[in-house]
């Protein structure tokens, strides 16, 4: 497997573009993205667990019942959620795209991101679509820019891999900075691959993968109304189609995981106002579920996040999060270490604090990436979660989000 350039356009037969159509007042910010497969494609998706699902998710879920899609349209600046005409607008977006691309409206995935509760005007989208379609090409970066809201960094990645002796490619773009919390998805991610794989196996691969990637990140504890991950597979690599479990499916799953892992780490590190990426590695759990609960509990704790922001080795907050995680764990066996490029320091052994050099701990926690290692010493299961620190800027950004 090799890291390559191109994002969602790295796989054969995929085009993309992004423009400013007028949804956002700032004309320097693109606000409408399109990804198009030149050939028929199988599709799979996972959606937010929030009961207040935005209209685009409802429309997309209906369109993907047959496991097929050709295009993804996404706007930023407005979530098209919790409004009286949301379904009509989402459906109209699909119809407009279908007319421009000469495909079926049911083969269009629609997504939106931005402010909740404000009606999304269809006029700028209708006016901008001809230009958006005309500019389709090797423009994954343009599409990635157009789906950003409070993101400060573009999120794009691609890999090549082999199925048999055939080179296949997989790429992705994502957005996510705030309103990020486990239980899928946790943001928007659009993935493409030219690997030939059935809709059923594509869904199995994606559903399993998100449990160890996107469902294991948290920025602020809020699960959005609009979150989803979608993948299109057009088979243009011409490998023998993957229709069952086996070595080929495992290879595809590994490539998918490489893309999603990169994107979820990028989202966690770009949390609103964040200054550092936090990784919580839990080992020695009696079950994988217990390991996941502990890792997510620690990474989601506001008190842990603020301690990390202040570079304060307040390990009591860490063991507290272990204790209320709901996992089956014997706190009297827990060991905790804090690590970064500056080294590692043991702060807790057998559930009890140990003497450690505060100046060394401070130096470790001042790094841009900090790893919290927790050994439950009760089994062999493990899990990893990703998040970020909680800063003053998070409050500033969200205190005036609409304005």
Dump pLDDT digits (tens) for 339-389. Answer: 999 999 999 999 999 999 999 999 999 999 999 999 999 999 999 999 988
Mean pLDDT of 237-251: 98
328 three-class SS = coil
Q: Say which CATH architecture domain 2-269 belongs to.
A: 4-Layer Sandwich (3.60)
Nearest one of 3, 8, 5 to 258, comparing CA atoms:
3
Residue 322 confidence (pLDDT): 96
More confident residue, 240 or 389: 240
> Count of H helices and E strands in the chain?
11, 16
* Nearest C-alpha neighbor of 302 from the set 199, 177, 394: 394
Is the Cβ–Cβ distance between 364 and 338 less than 8 Å? Answer: yes
Q: In which residue are the tokens 């239980």 written?
A: 183
Distance (Å, whole) CA 33 – CA 269 = 23
Q: What is the DSSP letter of 189?
A: E
Q: Tens of pLDDT along 176-234?
A: 765 444 443 347 999 999 999 999 999 999 999 998 998 888 765 545 556 789 999 99
Over residues 51-57, the mean pLDDT reads 84
Is pLDDT above 50 for 100?
yes
Per the CATH hierarchy, to which homologous superfamily does domain 277-399 belong? ArgJ beta chain, C-terminal domain (3.10.20.340)
Average pLDDT over all residues of the chain? 92
Is 186 designated active site?
A: yes
Beta bridge partners of 114: 77
CB atoms closer than 10 angstroms to residue 244: 10
* C-alpha span between 104 and 124 (Å, rounded): 22
Q: What are the boundaries of each domain within the chain?
A: 2-269, 277-399
pLDDT > 90 fraction of the chain, expressed in percent and rounded: 78
Q: Which of 115, 136, 113, 145 is nearest to 20 (CA)?
A: 145
Q: Say whether pLDDT at 105 is over 70.
A: yes
290: nearest Cα among 331, 252, 254: 331
Q: Is the pLDDT of residue 320 over 80?
A: yes
Q: Is the pTM of this model over 0.85?
A: yes
d(CA 247, CA 255): 13
Sign of CA dihedral 203, 207, 209, 213: positive
Catalytic residue chosen out of the listed positions 186, 193, 213, 279:
186
Sign of CA dihedral 118, 124, 130, 131: negative
| Domain 2-269 matches domain 277-399 at the CATH topology level | no
pLDDT reported for residue 224: 53
Q: Taking 80 as the threshold, does the pLDDT of residue 403 lie above it?
A: no
């Amino acid at each position: 497997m090799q890291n390559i350039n191109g994002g969602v356009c790295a796989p054969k037969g995929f085009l993309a573009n992004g423009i400013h159509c007028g949804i956002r007042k700032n004309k320097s910010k693109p606000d409408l993205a399109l990804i198009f497969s030149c050939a028929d494609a199988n599709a799979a998706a996972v959606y937010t667990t929030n009961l207040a699902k935005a209209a685009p998710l409802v429309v997309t879920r209906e369109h993907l019942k047959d496991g097929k899609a050709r295009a993804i349209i996404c706007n930023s600046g407005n979530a098209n959620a919790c409004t009286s005409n949301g379904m009509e607008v989402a459906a109209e977006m699909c119809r407009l795209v279908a007319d421009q691309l000469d495909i079926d409206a049911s083969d269009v995935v629609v997504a939106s991101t931005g402010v909740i509760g404000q009606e999304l005007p269809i006029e700028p989208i209708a006016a901008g679509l001809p230009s958006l379609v005309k500019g389709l090409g090797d423009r994954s970066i343009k599409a990635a820019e157009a789906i950003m809201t409070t993101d400060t960094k573009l999120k794009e990645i691609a890999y090549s891999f082999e199925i048999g002796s055939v080179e296949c490619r997989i790429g992705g773009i994502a957005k996510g900075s705030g309103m990020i919390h486990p239980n899928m998805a946790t943001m928007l991610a659009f993935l493409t691959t030219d690997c030939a794989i059935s809709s059923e196996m594509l869904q199995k691969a994606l559903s399993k993968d998100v449990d160890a990637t996107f469902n294991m990140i948290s920025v602020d504890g809020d699960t959005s109304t609009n979150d989803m991950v979608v993948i299109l597979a057009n088979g243009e690599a011409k490998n023998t189609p993957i229709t069952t479990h086996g070595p080929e499916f495992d290879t595809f799953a590994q490539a998918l995981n490489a893309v999603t892992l990169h994107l979820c780490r990028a989202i966690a590190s770009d949390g609103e106002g964040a200054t550092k990426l936090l990784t919580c590695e839990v080992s020695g759990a009696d079950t994988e579920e217990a390991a996941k609960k502990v890792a997510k509990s620690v990474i989601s704790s506001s008190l842990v996040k603020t301690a990390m922001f202040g570079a304060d080795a307040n390990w009591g907050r860490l063991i507290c999060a272990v204790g209320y995680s709901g996992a089956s764990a014997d706190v009297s066996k827990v060991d905790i270490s804090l690590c970064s490029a500056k080294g590692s320091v043991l702060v807790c052994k057998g559930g009890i604090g140990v003497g450690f050099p505060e100046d060394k701990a401070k130096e470790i926690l001042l790094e841009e990436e900090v790893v919290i290692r927790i050994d439950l010493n009760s089994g062999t299961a493990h899990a990893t979660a990703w998040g970020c620190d909680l800063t003053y800027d998070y409050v500033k950004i969200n205190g005036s989000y609409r304005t």
